[in-house]
Chains A and B, each alone.
Chain A
Amino acid sequence: MAVNGTLPDFSFSPHVDQVGIEERASRFTKRSIKNETKVNGLKLALNMIDLTTLEGKDTDGKVKQLCYKAMHLHDVYGGLPTVAAVCVYPSMVRVAKQALGNSGIKVAAVATAFPSGQAPRDVKIRDTKFAVDEGADEIDMVISRGKFHQGEYNFVFDEIAAVKEACSAARLKVILETGELVTYDKVRRASDIAMYAGADFIKTSTGKISPAATMPVTLVMLEAIRDFYYKTGKKIAMKPAGGISKAKLALHYLVMLNEVLGEEWMNNEWFRFGASSLANDILMQLMKQKTGVYQSPDYFSID
């Protein structure tokens, strides 16, 4: 559902100064997160993870294992939250849904000819509908970057709006694939298009292209979300994905989130990390905080 009323001309999306935004992003990393703030932050980060497996070689068995890990992150440590969601291909949605049962963990499916998005619109719609029918709670779509680079903003906009409609009740995450957009100006413009076209989340990357999520690119998108919120009153969620594998970096992201959008966004309804190996690094840090001893990966299950 697109925002009603007059749409902005996306050619005039605000500009972003690269040096300035990178300086600002690096400033968040200067925050020193200690003690209870650190523990709370780490637990929150865990709870924001979309635990992800997106490989050609994924099988039912692999997905089931992942789902078990999602529910039992590290049972030695009592009272841990679960991750927010498991993110899989549409063909794996049913398996994941069954495995997660009533744990409250969502199933997210990448759709729309993920990761390239190079398919006709009707294929993308069918892909989306299939995933929704299989039980997906959330759909992660990709935008048509080729069309975007051609300046076909209406095409990109209409496609997102069409997929949104196909999602029915599922929440839609729109992947911009920022590594292919390259400049922050384009990331900002694509963010604006996605939000006005009906995205519930905007998401940086598929994880298949390098660079994936970075702090500055995420900051550009958070600022877009804030401006959109002030303009429309509608909150949009954010998901950086790919390249966030260390607890410390996740905390930097949370500092950034907290200082750009404020505390209302500090939960997994409004922010997610798309990551596969982040969870264990956070768990190691939590154990270190608890025991005072530096940890070894051997003590944490891979999946």
Chain B
Amino acid sequence: MATKKSNTIKLKFDSARELAPAPESKSAATIKPQYELFINGKFEKPASKKYYHTINPATEERISSIAESNQADVDRAVKAARQAYEKTWKKMPGKERAKYIFRIARMVQERAREFSIVETLNGGKPIRESRDFDVPTAANHFFYYAGWADKLEYAFPNRQASPLGVAGQIIPWNFPLLMAAWKIAPALATGNTVVLKPAETTPLTALKLAEIIQEADLPPGVVNIITGAGATGAAIVNHPDVNKIAFTGSTDVGKIIQRAIAGTSKKATLELGGKAANIIFDDAPLDQAVEGVINGIFFNQGHVCCAGSRLYVQESVFDQVLRKLKDRMETLIVGDPMDKNTDIGAINSKAQLDTINKYLKIGLQEGADMYQSSCKLPGKGFFCRPTLFTNVAQSNRITQEEIFGPVLTIQTFRTDDEVIAKANNTPYGLSSGVWTDKGSKIFNLTTKLRSGVVWANTFNKFDPVSPFGGYKESGYGREGGLHGLYAYVNVK
């Protein structure tokens, strides 16, 4: 048998991407032309009288008008939360609080399809992900924490937990509903009341959640959801009657918050950026590792703080892994987020697309080799091809800075010690991944990698019972699981 040189062989995947459209129907969800602020159990017009447009990043079409809160609105929301805290919520027996949270969980499940559609229309993520991940996981989060509300005395050995008061919560645009659930569920379970601000570009599912909260008859003021941009967030952070700040977003803003509350007794939990290492050893199950790398960096267009954006491959399997990665990238379908076959949807905003493109330029200027899949991109909307960079160094900016897009850098390594050192050589420490078939090596690495989550032979898994949060500049505090309760209580 004549054997050909492997570099002349190429699998062809054009047909894999050319599937007939399979769009989810928009009619299964209603989006109002205008949304107000949810304060004290009612939808109220903003004192600012101002509204801004929210768009569908896949089409750049305006889909609704959103109220912009000013200081007076923030004051009203905090006041409502304070009153609800003092008058009802902190006095309510845990088992009753639990039932409200359970109710919210159920209602999210009942309206799951609608939530998925709205999430995708407003955020650009593929409907497959909203449907199979974001919305069910959000509902599960409410379920999980609901059950804690009347069991807190078991959570903190030999200590009594008490709520902090009013929690100001500011969430990002990458998982709008899920982040709202991550924030609201544990806060309510522990007896706090909430003022939550969704991200400027993705307010719709949080406002839909407000509708549910209203329907669930949650006492007015226990959860207040107010919309706006950075100034609204700052007003929440700086409000003297807020006891706790929970923030998920960039490390830069996290640091600003840390400074802003320095002169106060406010508690904070920060869930910030990341630049996770994903490490493949030569004895790894390579095809599953490649799949893990794909999920690690292309899930949600790479808009994931724990994305596995730095790939380290043991040199002896580098060629194999690279080829498998490229083949797999060829089969990724980029396009209309509402199509059920889409793997990579729209970049969340023009600004974020500009940032990503800036980094692609930097990568090329730094002398790295860029590879992008050959897929077509839609003519309108904000899209980016799945991208990888080889021939990069630890000192390149593209390997050091968080890009928050579908962009992977690949480096090789030779020994365990080398890769551990390189993986930890970053100010971040949110997550990391290890792929090897050898159990003892897994534990060596999972112990030495300085990050809050380590995925071994898997990546980008999330669960309400599983604590999530960072080391170092990736923030502090945990969300999810038993440890997520600490963020919302004083223990005495």
Contact = CB atoms under 8 A, between A and B. Distances in A.
Interface in B106-155: 128, 132
Nearest to B7: A230
A128 to B, nearest CB: 21
Interface stretch (B51-59, B265-273, B286-294): B286-294
Contacts of B3: 3-5, 231-234
A15 B285 contact: yes
B288 A32 contact: no
A223 interface: yes
Contacts of B12: 262-264
A229 interface: yes
Contact of A24 (B6, B128, B284, B288): B288
B1 A4 contact: yes
Contact of A20 (B11, B15, B327, B457): B457
B4 interface: yes
B230 interface: no
Contacts of A248: none
Contacts of A262: 11-13, 15-16
Given A37-B19, A259-B331, A262-B11, A233 B2 contact: yes
Interface in A230-271: 230-234, 255, 258-259, 261-264, 266
Interface string B1-42: 111111011011111101111100000000000000000000
A20 B22 contact: no
Nearest to A4: B1
B340 interface: yes
Interface string A12-24: 0011110111011
Interface residues on B, range: 35 or more
B457 A37 contact: no
Nearest to A5: B3
Contacts of B463: none
A132 B21 CA distance: 46
Nearest to A261: B11
Interface residues on A, range: 35 or more
A301 interface: no
B70 to A, nearest CB: 44
Contacts of B286: 14
A20 B458 contact: yes
A24 B20 contact: no
A33 B1 contact: no
Contact of B288 (A16, A34, A35): A16
Which of B20, B320, B331, B340 has the most CB atoms of chain A within a 10 A radius of its CB? B20
Contact of B20 (A1, A5, A33): A33
Contacts of B132: 30
B20 A258 contact: no
Given A20-B291, A20-B292, A233 B15 contact: no
A21 B291 CA distance: 9
A38 interface: yes
A31 interface: yes
B20 A37 contact: yes
B11 A234 contact: no
A2 B70 CA distance: 76
A189 B47 CA distance: 69
B285 A258 contact: no
A20 B19 contact: no
A80 B5 CA distance: 39
Interface string B305-339: 00000000000000010010001000100000001
A9 interface: no
A22 to B, nearest CB: 10
B13 A259 contact: yes
Nearest to A27: B291
Contacts of A37: 18-20
A226 interface: yes
Given A1-B1, A30-B132, A262-B11, A230 B288 contact: no
A30 B15 contact: no
B341 interface: yes
Interface in B277-305: 283-288, 291-292
A75 interface: no
A42 to B, nearest CB: 13
Interface string A44-76: 000000000000000000000000000000000
B132 to A, nearest CB: 7
A38 to B, nearest CB: 7
Contact of B16 (A15, A16, A232, A258): A258
B12 to A, nearest CB: 4
B401 interface: no
B287 A21 contact: yes
A5 B128 CA distance: 46
A9 to B, nearest CB: 14
B437 interface: yes
A31 B283 CA distance: 31
A123 to B, nearest CB: 29
B95 to A, nearest CB: 37
A259 B11 CA distance: 10
A3 B1 contact: yes
A230 B287 contact: no
Contacts of B283: 15
Contacts of A5: 3
Contacts of B19: 31-34, 37
A266 B18 CA distance: 14
Contacts of A298: none
B13 A32 contact: no
B288 A31 contact: no
B15 A229 contact: no
A162 to B, nearest CB: 17
A229 B15 CA distance: 20
A20 B288 contact: yes
Contacts of A34: 19-22
A33 B339 CA distance: 11
Which of A3, A37, A234 has the most CB atoms of chain B within a 10 A radius of its CB? A37
A28 B14 CA distance: 16
Interface in B364-383: none
Given A233-B9, A264-B12, 17 more contacts: A3-B1, A16-B287, A17-B285, A17-B288, A20-B458, A24-B288, A32-B19, A32-B340, A34-B19, A35-B20, A229-B11, A230-B6, A233-B2, A233-B5, A263-B14, A263-B15, A264-B11
Interface of B: 1-6, 8-9, 11-16, 18-22, 128, 132, 283-288, 291-292, 320, 323, 327, 331, 339-341, 437, 457-458
Interface of A: 1, 3-5, 14-17, 19-21, 23-24, 30-38, 223, 226-227, 229-234, 255, 258-259, 261-264, 266
The 4 closest A-B pairs by CB, nearest first: A20-B288, A233-B4, A32-B22, A262-B11
22 contacts: A15-B283, A16-B288, A17-B285, A20-B288, A20-B291, A21-B285, A21-B288, A24-B291, A30-B340, A33-B20, A34-B21, A35-B20, A229-B11, A231-B3, A233-B2, A233-B6, A234-B3, A262-B11, A262-B12, A262-B13, A262-B16, A263-B16
